[in-house]
Structures are given as C-alpha cells and as structure tokens.
C-alpha cells in the first residue's frame, strides 16, 4: 500500500514551458486535492476533485489546470510556467464518508521556474 | 485578515519540555480540526483529528478545541528531538468537500 505518490520529485522549468504533475493514490479515496506550499504561507488549495471526471477551483487556481480521468489519478498542469509558480506542490486524498475529514498527503514535487 | 492564524515561531525548547502550539480562526463554520506534522522536505502527516470542543489525548499529544473562543491548541508532553518539525493546524466545515484551511505552520526544534 503506497498511499499517495507524486511524480516527478523535482523539476526545473524555463518561463513559458509546460509540464504535468502526476498524483496517484491506492486507497480508493473519492476526493483528491492539489496544494502549493510557499514559505510563511502554509498550504494553499489550487484545485480539487470530488470524484472521477469532476474538478473544482480552490483558493489559487490561476495558471493551473487539472484533470481526473481515473479515480486513482489527479493531474496538475502548468500550460505556461511563470517564476511565481516556483513552489512545492503537494497532492492529497480523502475519503468522502462522515468522520473521515482528514487528508493524506504525498511527498511533494519541488518546482523551480527560471 | 487570514481565516486561520498560527504563531510562526520558530520555537526552540529543551528535551522533556511541554510544548504548546496554538491557532486562532475567524470562520465559525469550521467544525473539524486537525494537526499535521511536517518533517523537513516531506509531506504533512496527520497527527490529531478532533470534531467537538474539548480535549483529545493520544500518547504524549493532546489536542484542545475551544469553539466559543475560536482557538485550538496542541500540547506535546515530554518533548523529544524526534518531535522537531513544522506543525500545521488545519480545519474545515461540513459539506465543504473537505477543503482544508491551513495555518502557516510553527517550526519546532527540540534540543537534546
């Protein structure tokens, strides 16, 4: 049982390049999330999904797109990377049932945009 | 004003000390409260989860929620060097698709 995994672990991009971050979970969770973490700002929600084929915007969605074609995968895309998107990105997943409000996090992807 | 405020620290204590970490919040709709621990260059891991006001204990850790004051705390007894990490409070309301609002985190160092 691997939990939540993220690919890649680290990436360097040039301004204007595109990339996709992959998140996979093997816990059969319904909900999945993408966060970014910047110094002194905690974790901020980018996009989330409450089920296969559905996505919604979080607190800081601009410049990002997501897709959830399979229940176990949640993709985060940057179409045209900007230096302001330099951050550590975390994926998380959660059960939908009552009393299961906690989220389980992946190890993170460090992204540097030059 | 942020919805969730957390003392940023850093906090440095000697081994064996009692540590108190705190968060305040402004959204009265928050009903579920969590503490996450994050080691350097790792993802956050759930430490404590509480729903109602009051105390919840798990080993050396105690989570306290005071909804009337919109204040939550995490106490660590007999702190160990292995407790050195960043502690994040998080909370959400019911029916919010589990959208968590996080504090900015408190960096704790326990000195041997």
What band does A54 get if pLDDT is binned at 50, 70 and 90? very high
Identify the pLDDT of residue B98: 75
Identify the pLDDT of residue A98: 63
pLDDT digits (tens, 9 = 90+) for B23-81: 999 999 898 899 999 999 999 999 998 887 889 999 999 999 999 999 999 999 999 99
CA–CA distance, A1 with A28 (Å, rounded to integer): 11
B45 touches chain A (CB under 8 A): yes
pLDDT digits (tens, 9 = 90+) for A18-45: 999 999 999 999 999 999 999 877 899 9
Identify the pLDDT of residue B58: 93
Identify the pLDDT of residue A99: 63
The residues that bridge with A62 in the sheet, in sequence order, are: none
Inter-chain touch B100–A45, beta carbons under 8 Å? yes
Closest-CA residue in chain A for B49?
A102
pLDDT surpasses 80 at B94: no
Identify the pLDDT of residue B52: 78
E strand residue ranges, B1-112? 4-6, 11-14, 19-25, 30-38, 45-50, 54-58, 61-66, 71-76, 85-93, 101-102, 106-111
Closest-CA residue in chain A for B34?
A102
Inter-chain touch A90–B102, beta carbons under 8 Å? no
Greatest CA separation for chain B: 44
A vs B, Cβ pairs < 8 A, gives 54
């Amino acid at each position: 049982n691997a939990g939540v995994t993220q690919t890649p672990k680290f990436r360097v991009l040039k301004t204007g390049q595109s990339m996709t971050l992959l998140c996979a979970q093997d816990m059969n969770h319904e909900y999945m999330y993408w966060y970014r973490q910047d110094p002194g700002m905690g974790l901020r929600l980018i996009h989330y999904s409450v089920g296969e084929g559905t996505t919604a915007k979080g607190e800081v969605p601009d410049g990002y797109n997501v897709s959830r074609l399979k229940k176990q995968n949640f993709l985060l895309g940057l179409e045209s990377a900007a230096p302001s998107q330099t951050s550590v990105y975390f994926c998380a997943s959660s059960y939908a049932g009552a009393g299961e409000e906690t989220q389980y996090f992946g190890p993170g992807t460090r992204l540097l945009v030059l | 004003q942020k919805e969730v405020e957390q003392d940023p620290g850093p906090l440095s204590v000697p081994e064996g000390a009692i540590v108190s970490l705190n968060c305040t919040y402004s959204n009265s709709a928050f009903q579920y409260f969590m503490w996450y621990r994050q080691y350097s260059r790792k993802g956050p891991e759930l430490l404590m989860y509480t729903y109602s006001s009051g105390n919840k204990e798990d080993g050396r850790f105690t989570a306290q929620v005071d909804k009337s004051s919109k204040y939550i705390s995490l106490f660590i007894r007999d702190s160990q060097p292995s407790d050195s990490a960043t502690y994040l409070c998080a909370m959400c309301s019911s029916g919010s698709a589990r959208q968590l609002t996080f504090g900015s985190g408190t960096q704790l160092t326990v000195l041997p």
